[in-house]
Amino acid sequence: MDQPITKQRARGRLSREMIEDAAFEVIEREGLSGFSMRKLAAALGCEAMSIYHHFPSVAHLHEALIDRLIGALEVPDTSLPWRERMRVAVDDFRRIGREHPAYSTFIVTYRMNSPTCLAWLNGIIGLFKDGGFDAELSARLFRAVGYYLMGAVLDENAGYSRGPSAVNTVSDEQLARDYPNVVEAGRFFGAAEFDKTFELGLDMLLDEMERLRDGADISRMSGKV
């Protein structure tokens, strides 16, 4: 069955944008491990060499895909309160994972060192400095928030949301009898609860950051972080 991108390709000349659009479609359909230039070419209705004319390697293609996603993000405007700017920045990145679930594992583990990505990272680190933190705490808090955010993106798209990994699962009866705490907590693990859980953790992080800032004890804490 023809894919939307294939129909577009039949009517016009191959472009970088069309290749990127098709790549996202193929990745979401086949999974990251099932993605290949051959499958991408099939979706576009062309030969693989036509793709290599635009992207010399798979690495070049992935760089373009990441740049496209990250380049669309904006550092929140300074007219907003600092806490709101942080929340917008975090939510924007998390949204990318939700829009590209099969690609999310690649996104969060990709080392962002292209000019496009560095510009975004520079602005986000600057948000911490705007919050009144010195260079060390800005870096460490940036990393701490990143740990939380990337873990959430992975869990929401490649973790429990995909069901059990174990081959030897237990029956509902055994689960209720032997693992009551898991059963009780399980109703809060579903996708419908992701937002509430994420917001709880994010508020805790922001509360602690503001406590550090407003406590006028940043220099002492910096040495302990």
Say yes or no: domain 73-167+194-222 is CATH 1.10.357.10: yes
Q: What is the pTM of this model?
A: 0.85
pLDDT score recorded for residue 121: 96
What the block records as the tokens of 180 is 């009551």
Sign of CA dihedral 173, 175, 181, 185: negative
Q: For the chain, what are the domain ranges?
A: 4-56, 73-167+194-222
pLDDT score recorded for residue 4: 52
pLDDT score recorded for residue 161: 67
Q: Please check whether residue 6 is in contact with residue 44, taking contact to mean a CB–CB distance below 8 angstroms.
A: yes
Angle between helices 135-158 and 82-99 (to 10 degrees): 30
What burial class does residue 139 get, using C-beta atoms within 10 Å of its C-beta: 0-12 exposed, 13-18 middle, 19+ buried?
Answer: middle
- Report d(CA 25, CA 92) in Å as an integer: 21
- Report d(CA 204, CA 198) in Å as an integer: 10
What the block records as the tokens of 107 is 């996104």
CATH architecture of 4-56: Orthogonal Bundle (1.10)
Angle at alpha carbon of residue 162, lines to 158 and 167, rounded to 5°: 110
Q: For the chain, 225 residues long, give each residue's pLDDT as a single digit of tens.
A: 344 554 444 445 899 999 999 999 999 999 999 999 999 999 999 999 999 999 999 999 999 999 999 999 999 999 999 999 999 999 999 999 999 999 999 999 999 999 999 999 999 999 999 999 999 999 999 999 999 999 999 999 987 767 777 788 899 999 999 999 999 999 999 999 999 999 999 999 999 999 988 885 545 545 554
- Report d(CA 88, CA 149) in Å as an integer: 13
pLDDT score recorded for residue 73: 96
What burial class does residue 8 get, using C-beta atoms within 10 Å of its C-beta: 0-12 exposed, 13-18 middle, 19+ buried?
Answer: middle
Query: HEC states along 53-80?
Result: CCCCCHHHHHHHHHHHHHHCCCCCCCCC
Helices (H), 45-171: 48-52, 58-71, 82-99, 104-109, 115-130, 135-158
Q: Which of 42, 31, 33, 54 is nearest to 9 (CA)?
A: 42
Q: Please check whether residue 127 is in contact with residue 75, taking contact to mean a CB–CB distance below 8 angstroms.
A: yes
